[in-house]
Structure 1
Amino acid sequence: MLALLKSRAWQLLALVLAALLLWQSVGHLLALRAADKARTDLATERAATAAAAAETSERYRKLEGTYRESLDTITREAGQAMARATVDADAARAAAGRLRGDLADYITAHRAAANARAAAGQCAPDTAALDLLAELQRRADERAGALARIADDARSRGAACEWAYGAGIMMTLPARPSLLESR
């Protein structure tokens, strides 16, 4: 009887071991399937990420090209504005030269008339006021011209800077859709 119990115990132990082996095999197969699914999911996600990165890169490349074209246009227009300002400044300098010439003619005529009156014995010529007026006008004109050149240059450069900033902002808006939605 003891031998029978021993044999049954060994048989039961063998069945338990077989069940555990089966359990382990099934678990191993399920783990292999889960690993294969994870590899497939990872490969799919990597491909999707690579496609999204390529699309984003292309979008940024196009935006950069547009931005460079905008900057070229802005630079060209700023150069044209500065050239117009230079032409206007040259015209103002020419007008100032004519005004100085007219003033010099007036002073010369006034001196001649004063000298003629002095020769006739009427009064002694006093040209100090005219000389002072001519000197003040010359200094004011020179300073006004210098300030106008500075102002024209600053205005042209400032406008170009504003245009470039606006182009940069317009470039970043399509790149960040969240900004477009909030506006």
Structure 2
Amino acid sequence: MLALLKSRAWQLLALVLAALLLWQSVGHLLALRAADKARADLATERAAAAAAAAETSERYRKLEGTYRENLDTIARESDQAQARATADANAARAAAGRLRGDLADYITANRAAANARAAAGQCAPDTSALDLFAELQRRADERAGALARIADDARSRGASCERGYNVARALTKFD
């Protein structure tokens, strides 16, 4: 009887071990299946991420191209505005030169008339006020021209900077 009981115990132990081995094998197969599914999911996610990255990269490449084109346009227009301002300043300097010439002609004529009156014995020539007026007008005109050049330059550069900032700001806005 003891031998029968021992043989049954060994059989029962073998069955339990076989069941545990089967259970472990099934668990291993399920783990392998889950690992394969995880690998497939990971590959799918990587492909989707790569496609999204490529799409985003292309969108930013186009945005950068647009930004560079806009900056080139702004620089070109700024140069044109600077050239116009320089031409206007040159025209203003020419007009100021003509005005100074007219003033010099007037002063010459006034001095000649004053000298003629003095020669006729009417009064003594006093041209100091006229000379002072001519000098003040010349200085004021030169200073106004210098300030106008500074203001034109600052306005043109400020407008270019503002437009460049607006283009960069538009670039950073996301849809």
Q: Please name the residue that 2:43 is paired with.
A: 43
Q: Please name the residue that 1:119 is paired with.
A: 119
Q: Please name the residue that 1:21 is paired with.
A: 21
Q: Please name the residue that 1:137 is paired with.
A: 137
Q: TM-score if structure 2 supplies the norm length?
A: 0.97
Q: Please name the residue that 2:6 is paired with.
A: 6
After superposition, the CA RMSD in angstroms is: 0.8
The CA deviation at 1:121 is 1.3
Please tell me whether residue 77 in structure 1 is matched to residue 77 in structure 2: yes
- The one-character-per-residue Cα deviations of 1:87-137 (angstroms, maximum 9, x if unpaired) are 111111111111111111111111111111111111111111111111100
Supply the distance in 2 between the matched residues of 1:10 and 1:57 (Cα, whole angstroms): 68
Supply the distance in 1 between the matched residues of 2:38 and 2:98 (Cα, whole angstroms): 88
Aligned length in residues: 175
- The one-character-per-residue Cα deviations of 1:41-72 (angstroms, maximum 9, x if unpaired) are 11111111111111111001111111111111
The one-letter code matched in structure 2 to 1:25 is S
- The one-character-per-residue Cα deviations of 1:138-160 (angstroms, maximum 9, x if unpaired) are 00000000000011111111111
SS at match of 1:15: helix
Q: Please name the residue that 2:33 is paired with.
A: 33
Any gaps of 5 or more consecutive residues in structure 2? Answer: none
- Using the aligned pairs only, state the percent identity: 86
The one-letter code matched in structure 2 to 1:141 is D
Any gaps of 5 or more consecutive residues in structure 1? Answer: 178-183
Supply the distance in 1 between the matched residues of 2:66 and 2:107 (Cα, whole angstroms): 60
Q: Please name the residue that 1:107 is paired with.
A: 107
- The one-character-per-residue Cα deviations of 1:61-87 (angstroms, maximum 9, x if unpaired) are 111111111111111111111111111
Q: Please name the residue that 1:166 is paired with.
A: 166
Q: Please name the residue that 2:89 is paired with.
A: 89
